[in-house]
Structure 1
Amino acid sequence: MVLENLSLLFFKNYDEAAVSFSPHINCFIGDNGSGKTNLLDAIHYLSMTRSAFNSSDAQNIKQGEDYFMVRGTFTIEGEKHTVICSLKAGQKKTVTHNKVVYEKMSDHIGRFPVVLISPYDTDLIREGSEERRKYFDSLISQLDHTYLEQLIQYNYILKQRNSLLKQFAERHYFDRDYLHILNEQLVPLGAQLAQEREKFLELFVPVFQKHYRHISDSHEEVTLTYKSQLPGADFTQLLLQAERKDLALQRTTVGPHKDDFVFLMDGNPVKHFGSQGQQKSYVIALKLAHFEVMAERQHHKPLLLLDDIFDRLDEKRITKLMQMVAAHTFGQIFLTDTHLERTDKILEGLSESIRRFEVKEGEVRLIG
């Protein structure tokens, strides 16, 4: 899979931009704040229909404008696919594939896979369980459309249940029958999500461990486990047992939306016992496993987005990554850096197909 070109209108700090890409390595070079990462985020939009960094779509409209558009053309096995994501302030976001509007955004997820490695990846270790759930839910959703649909439906019913619990508190009444109807809808979906997460880790963990050994050259044992109340338990009974607590807190306190993925090194939490270097190796190995599993399942390699990694990683880890580039482990790569000389030195001899773009104050120019 190759992204041939990218066009932007009023996206983040860009008025307008249009670039054509190399099928192998593409480098965006510029100062911090120039808009390099925004180009990677635009590519992420074409794949995932959302920003990798902003939770609100409206935040991606350039200040002073009332809409944005991101357009790109992918080629897969000789067939061209044009994707357009657009949003007008106050209206619903629109995504089209070859001029056909998606009725459901979820139908697009997984068609044009992407993997992003960024300085913020260690948030997966440092932040709470929600960050890790979102990451693995996104990963599994790109591989399994049924999982994505079940996740969307689960979250919809969960939102209804939480709204009902708040109504009970505000209006001083309790309708147990209605609550149990929502429980009956929530239970099979929740049980299925937990089962699929557990099954996915059986596939994912050995691939992750392989990449950690390669990227770190160390002997510590790493793994990750799924922490959930559901496997082996009756979800209906868990909801009934938590009913009084749910009413008091006005939210649903049990279910897969409360689960966690626990990152371990030599049996201890990486967050507390891993060095900074070990934590970086851990999250890079996660992303490389993410790439490999997706490439194998989708039968074409995802786009790889590398954001400012030369600033954040030591020489040993960069060398390991570049060895994988040289071995053509990856397909099309997009990377950002602040120094052209450093980029050229690191990429020297790795590919004959490299394009370099200068990014300056929201403008992009091909420089070689």
Structure 2
Amino acid sequence: MYIDKISLKNFRNYRDETIEFSKDLNIIYGQNAQGKTNIIEAVFLCASGRSHRTSKDAELVNIDGTGFSILLELEKTEGRKNIGIEYERGKKKIVKINEVPVKKIGSLMGNLVAVIFSPEDILIIKEGPSQRRRFIDITLCQLKPSYFYDLQQYNKILLQRNALLKEIQFRRSLLDTLEVWDYKIAELSSRIMIARNEFINRLCEIAKRIHFNLTDGSESMEIKYSPSVGLHNLSDPAELKNEFIKQLSNTRASELKRCVTLIGPHRDDYEMVLNGLSLKMFGSQGQQRTSVLSLKLAEIEIIRSETDENPVLLLDDVMSELDFKRREFLLENIKNIQTFITCTDKDLFENRNFGDNLYIRVEAGRAYY
């Protein structure tokens, strides 16, 4: 799949701009704070329904506008498609596929599949579990709309269950109703955790091979899923659901005391290990960046095998973060993938031929060829 063009109206610092792309390598260059990353953000928004920089749609609106619109046109094996996103302050975001509004944001998933790699991705390793869950969830939501719906429903039920735990403090008669919510949350949890376990196992297998090659065999990387509750079987949904209900029962007293749900996918984590040691605790900055690169390349490989198409690759200001060897490894492994690279200096790419290279200079929210 590849993107032909994108039209931005009142999006960030773009007033009204249509930008056409090459199906190979697109180098988006210019000085800082001119709008390079905003293009990447708009593309990712069309793939996932969310920005990779903010959770507030209002922040995406041009300072002089009341709303924004994006129209992205792409080519897939199944034919041409367009994705439209419209937003007005104070109103719900509207998503359109081929000009037809979709009722649920989940209908967007899989139409455009994108992998994004930015300097902030090192937080996958350095920060808390929420960053690591987010990385997995974004990929799984794009690959499996059913996972997106399960996760969305789980988060709603989690809020309702937590509200009930608080209400029980004042109305003990509601205690018996907690069992109903236990069954609901257990069923969703079992599906989410099985999907995560399968994905992490596959990610580990591929990333381990890539990392071994990237480091000339000097480093061995492992990824270990750490669900929030000890479970014996992460492949049988029925068994997992029953086990989860038992664990909820065991934590009932603590949950009532703290008024929050203490176990479930919202507390999952996974650990990255390098040569037997925690990458977060003992890995150098360089080792952590290299490991994230291995993860992203593994993500591309998984998407390709699941969809029979290459994803769109978004590299937001990462080349300056990688040394020469890792830059070359990355560039050699993204051939035949439509790639968007933001940078301040295009000289790094002028002697490289990926087919139809396109250089786009961005200045004050305008694109020049």
TM-score tier by shorter-chain length is over 0.9
8 Å contact from structure 1 (residues 74, 82) kept in 2: yes
User: Using the alignment, how far apart are the partners of 1:338 and 1:260 within structure 2?
Assistant: 35
Task: Calculate the TM-score normalised by the size of structure 1.
Answer: 0.94
Shift of 1:259: 1.0
Measure the CA separation in 2 of the matches of 1:200 and 1:34. 37
Stretches of structure 1 that go unaligned for 5 or more consecutive residues are: none
Matched, 1:269 2:278: yes
Deviation of 1:53 (Å): 1.1
| Conservation of the 8 A alpha-carbon contact between 2:165 and 2:259 | yes
Q: Residue type matched to 2:34 in 1?
A: S
Mean CA deviation greater in 4-13 or 146-155: 146-155
Is the 1:214–1:320 Cα contact (8 Å) retained in structure 2?
no
- Does the residue aligned with 2:167 lie in a helix, a strand or coil? helix
Aligned match of 2:166: 166
Instruction: Confirm whether residue 343 of structure 1 aligns to residue 349 of structure 2.
Output: yes
Give the Å deviation of 1:172.
5.3
What is the TM-score of this pair, normalised by structure 2? Answer: 0.93
Does residue 123 in structure 1 map to residue 132 in structure 2?
no
SS in 1 for 2:219: coil
SS in 2 for 1:65: coil
Distance 1:69 1:215 in 2: 41
Q: For 2:146, what is the secondary structure of its paired residue?
A: helix
Instruction: Give the Cα–Cα distance (whole angstroms) in 2 for the partners of residues 142 and 168 of structure 1.
Output: 38
Shift of 1:281: 0.7
Partner SS for 1:175 = helix
1:293 paired residue number: 302
Task: State the AA in 1 paired with 2:18.
Answer: A
Contact 1:24 1:332 in 2 (8 A): yes
Q: Equivalent residue for 2:363?
A: 360
- Give the C-alpha shift of residue 68 in structure 1: 0.6
Within-5 A mapping of 1:307-318: 307-318=316-327
Q: Which moved more, 1:173-182 or 1:86-95?
A: 173-182
The answer as to 2:339 corresponding to 1:333 is: yes
SS at match of 1:223: strand
Aligned to 1:85: 85
Distance in 2 between residues matched to 1:78 and 1:59, nearest whole Å? 34
Give the superposed CA RMSD. Answer: 1.5
Instruction: List per-residue Cα deviations over 1:250-282 (Å, max 9, x = no partner).
Output: 210111211101111122210111111110110
Map of 1:226 onto structure 2: 225
Indicate the SS of the match to 1:254: coil
- Structure 1: how far apart are the matches of 2:50 and 2:340? 18
Distance 1:141 1:250 in 2: 29
SS of the residue aligned with 2:63?
coil
Deviations 1:214-273 (Å, cap 9, x if unpaired)? 223242221101101153271112111212221222210111211101111122210111
Would the aligned equivalents of 2:25 and 2:355 in 1 still touch at CA under 8 Å?
Answer: no
Cα pair 2:12 2:62 within 8 Å, conserved? yes
Contact 1:337–1:343 (CA under 8 A) maintained in structure 2: no
Q: Secondary structure at the match of 1:53?
A: coil
CA deviations on 1:56-90 (whole Å, 9 max, x unpaired) are 11111112321011111011137210110111001
Does 1:306 find its partner at 2:325? no
Give the Cα–Cα distance (whole angstroms) in 1 for the partners of residues 36 and 213 of structure 2: 29
The question of whether the paired residues in 2 share the 8 Å contact of 1:216 and 1:278 is answered with: no
Note if 1:324 corresponds to 2:327.
no
Distance 1:115 1:317 in 2: 18
* Structure 1 residue identity aligned to 2:291: Y
Equivalent residues of 1:191, 1:230 under 8 A apart: no
Report the Cα distance in structure 1 between the residues aligned to 2:78 and 2:161, rounded to whole angstroms.
47
143-152 or 49-58, which moves further after superposition? Answer: 143-152
Contact 1:216 1:317 in 2 (8 A): no
Secondary structure of 1:130's match? helix
For 1:342 and 1:184, how far apart are their aligned partners in 2?
56
Q: Which runs of 5+ in 2 are unaligned?
A: 233-239
Percent same amino acid among aligned pairs? 29
AA partner of residue 62 (structure 1)? N
Q: Is the 8 A contact 1:230 1:255 kept in 2?
A: no
The answer for the alignment partner of 1:107 in structure 2 is: 107
In 1, Cα distance between equivalents of 2:68 and 2:329: 38
CA distance in 2, matches of 1:67, 1:99: 18
Q: How far is 1:296 from its partner? A: 1.1
Number of equivalences: 359
